[in-house]
Amino acid sequence: MTTEPLELEEITGPSALGGGWRRSWDLLYLMASTEFKRTYFGTALGYLWTVGRPLMLFGVLLAVFTQAFKLSAGIPHYAVLLLLNIVLFSFFQDGASTALPSIVANVAIVRKTQFPRLVIPVAAVLTALFNVVLNLIVAFVFILAFGVQPRWTWLLVVVVLALLLVLTVAVAMILSALYPRFRDLGIIWSVTSTALFYGTPVLYTLDRFHSALARNIVSMNPLTPILELARRWIIDPRAHGPSYYAGGLKLLIPIAIYLGICGLAVWVFRREAPRIAEAL
């Protein structure tokens, strides 16, 4: 008597958007707004902590990198450029870091059959988006106070936010989908996000590099063109754009990495979504 070899069946569990787009959008807004309110519930300063945290970090870094390392020399409006960069990078970092354990933290609702998995990490990013909008309002007040003249290119901050939002959501999807099975990812991402902070032109600008190799490496970071565009459109219209430092063809590298991360995010999340409950 012969027996046929058993084959693993494809898992057809709850998908990333189980229940449809309309239901997912409603749940997304509900979860994000609730988390935003819950974060500062019971604190003495409430929503003021939303802008207080980046301002405190800005004050420390401004003092250190202008007095100790003299990075501000030759950079127009360095103080507000630093503030703007911190606000933008903090959105990426906070959104991805909060989304990483979000599915594990919401294990009770994840195990509900028809709950759309994708809503959970995206809600974490949307909460970070609420924060960055408030932070940008304060940042623009400082930008005006430091003598930067308003111009029509300020409206392009929406483009900067959109590019940053897509990248943050993509990274959040990858991290949150893999974390239930690979818990070491939390430590790995903590180190990676710190490295990204120093490997992205937040504290400095690309023209500060004397080494072409170091400048080319930083230019390959997909966050670099976004922050360089923000600098040119909002702070200093005379600053060179990302194509000046990376070159026309080299600029395709961060663009390819950006698109690759987005494509990988879709593939990973669709693959892992039906398996998430098993790993919890």
* Residue count (the chain): 280
Quickly tell me which residue has 């390819």 as its tokens. 256
Contact 126, 96 (CB under 8 A): no
Give per-residue pLDDT as tens, 74-118: 778 888 898 899 999 999 999 999 999 988 887 777 766 566 778
Q: Where is pLDDT greater, at 147 or 273?
A: 147
In tens, the pLDDT along 203-228 reads 888 887 777 888 888 889 999 999 99
CA dist 149 and 143 (Å) reads 8
Tokens of 231: 């600098």
Say if residue 2 is exposed, middle or buried (CB neighbours under 10 Å; 0-12, 13-18, 19+): exposed
Instruction: State residue 200's pLDDT score.
Output: 93
Q: Are residues 208 and 70 in contact, defined by beta-carbon separation less than 8 angstroms?
A: no
Residues 8-35: what's their mean pLDDT? 57
Half-sphere exposure of 215 (CA within 13 A, CB side): 16
Q: How far apart are alpha carbons 15 and 274 in whole angstroms?
A: 6
The domains of the chain are located at 21-275
Over residues 12-28, the mean pLDDT reads 56
What global pTM score does this model have? 0.82
